[in-house]
Structure 1
Amino acid sequence: MIPKTIYYAWFGGKSKPVEITKRIEQWQRLNPDYLIVEINEQNFDVQMMAYTAAAYAEGKWAFVSDVARLVVIYQNGGFYFDTDVDLLKPLDSLRENKLFFAKESPSVVNSGLGFGGESNNRLLEDLIKIYESSHFDSETPFLTTDVITSELKKIGLSDYNTLQVLPGDVTIYPTNYFAPLHFFGGGKIRSYSIAVHRYEGSWISKKLNIADKVRIQLILRLNFYLPFIRVMKNKIKNIAINSR
């Protein structure tokens, strides 16, 4: 079973904003018998590999966190959440999983939404090895969504937005469980939703004009709904073939 430990990452040494402190307190209220641990420079060796050392030297804390979360869960087991995730329910129902991740769109898995697993999981080990053999480039950095989604697709991850159990007992939750509100706006929290990732869009420059912002929104929405279109086209194609 997954241990009763919740991890989050906070590198850089700055004080946490009040809203983040309150959010973590809410995690504890929902899970009173869980240990909550902050991953930081004191308990994670940022020099453990060239990738994290370079990202840390450039102050790219999010990219250090991408690796640290994998390493900590691999070594200890437990749950990880980004600090902008609101928990809606206790986590006990997830503890039976060997390893789980969640989708933020039908074709993309995001470890920041929340993931968890038992220690010494083979898939986590493989993901860590990818970073160990990679070079950090702040101009074209690895995105954790690309790394993890790519590896999961190798073992059968599909674009169907449904609950999947992949080889190795890797459970993938569909968007409504951990990302019921879309990163581009809209969506709906369901009765079974476990968490909500509060996308702030901080990566979008405030200097962009209206046309650029509209263009970005169109791209985000297209990327989200394109898998639905592919799935429906395949269904129609299969129906046509089977009806011959």
Structure 2
Amino acid sequence: MIPKIIHYCWFGGGEKSAFIKKCIRTWEKYLPEFEIKCWSEENFDINTNEFVKQAYIQKKWAFVTDYARFYALYKDGGIYMDTDVRILKPLKKDWLTYDFFSSIEFLPQMYESHKYLLDSSFKPINKEKRMHGLGILSAFMAAIPNHKFVEDCLEMYNAIKPEKVNDEVDFNNFVIGSYITKCAEKYGFIYKDSEQLLKENMLILPKNVLAGNELFIDKDSYLIHLCNGSWTDNRTVFESLLYNLKNKYPAFENVITLIQKVYNKIKR
């Protein structure tokens, strides 16, 4: 049984925005029986490996979190959520009987440009290459303590030796989704948007159930990852304006999100 603990990470010591506080209130509303635990510099060793150490030095908090989420799940078990995940209704109780569960994350445009890497069974043609555009949703994952897949993800990060260029690591080369989904292949994961029951009692739900972004939300969705991108440092001026407005005025979030969707379509 997956423990009733919600983990989230907050590195850097900054003030949480009104938007993030609003998201966390939905956790309290729909999952009142869960303990909520915040991971930060106070209870996590930022020198645990070279990947985390360099990410912290460069103030790349999201990449510190990429490792810390697996540390929390492996140590304590429970649910990990990004701070921009909004719960829409109580989660199904039987999901907690699995040893791990998450959802498909689907990025249509990226998937279209990478699907040639898959065979007719939705498996990679070249086992060495990482697939992009479809994978396991890293913004929401749940596991029992000491789960083997979570351990594999920790070991994968421990093995990374980030190379510096001009005294900095380019962390954009380490997008979490493609890395952890590669780890899931040995458990039977295929690159298809469908419910999948994998080895080690792992459940992967379709993309709309734990919606990875607002494109796929419907009546069957239990949560939405609002993709706030507080870690992003390469926005356009307009994108930065929308981001700041969403955080400062969460009451207008729906309008701002609609503007973002229209803008993203034009940008493509």
Instruction: Normalising by structure 2, report the TM-score.
Output: 0.72
Find the partner of 2:135 among 95, 108, 121: 108
Give RMSD over aligned pairs: 2.4
User: Do the aligned residues in 1 keep the contact of 2:210 with 2:223 (CA within 8 Å)?
Assistant: yes
What secondary structure is seen at the aligned counterpart in 1 of 2:188?
coil
- SS at the partner of 1:13? coil
8 Å contact kept, 1:107–1:158: no
Residues 80-229 of structure 1 aligned to structure 2 (within 5 Å): 80-91=80-91, 93=93, 94-105=95-106, 107-112=134-139, 114-136=140-162, 138-139=169-170, 140-179=172-211, 181-182=213-214, 186-190=215-219, 192-200=220-228, 203=232, 205-206=235-236, 217=268
Tell me, in whole angstroms, the C-alpha distance in 2 between the residues paired with 1:194 and 1:32: 15
Change (3 A) 1:126 1:146: same
Deviations along 1:81-100, one digit per CA (max 9) or x if unpaired, are: 10111001223522111011
Q: Unpaired segments of 5 or more residues in structure 1?
A: 218-244
2:26–2:88 Cα contact (<8 Å) kept: no
> Using the alignment, how far apart are the partners of 1:72 and 1:200 within structure 2?
22
Unaligned runs of at least 5 residues, structure 2: 107-132, 164-168, 239-263
Question: Match for residue 42 of structure 1?
Answer: 42
Question: What is the total number of aligned residue pairs between the two structures?
Answer: 210
Which TM-score applies when normalising by structure 1?
0.78
User: SS in structure 1 opposite 2:101?
Assistant: strand
Q: 1:28 to 1:149 in 2, by over 3 A?
A: same
Query: What is the CA deviation profile of residues 165-205 of structure 1, one whole-angstrom value per residue up to 9, with x for unaligned ones?
Result: 111111111100112645xxx33422x21110112467463
Gap change, CA 1:22 and 1:115, over 3 Å in 2: same
Structure 1 position 58, deviation (Å): 0.6
Q: Corresponding residue for 2:121? A: none
Note if contact 1:55-1:136 (Cα within 8 Å) is conserved in structure 2: no
Is the contact between residue 211 and residue 217 of structure 2 (CA under 8 Å) also seen in structure 1? no
Determine what percentage of the aligned residue pairs are the same residue.
31
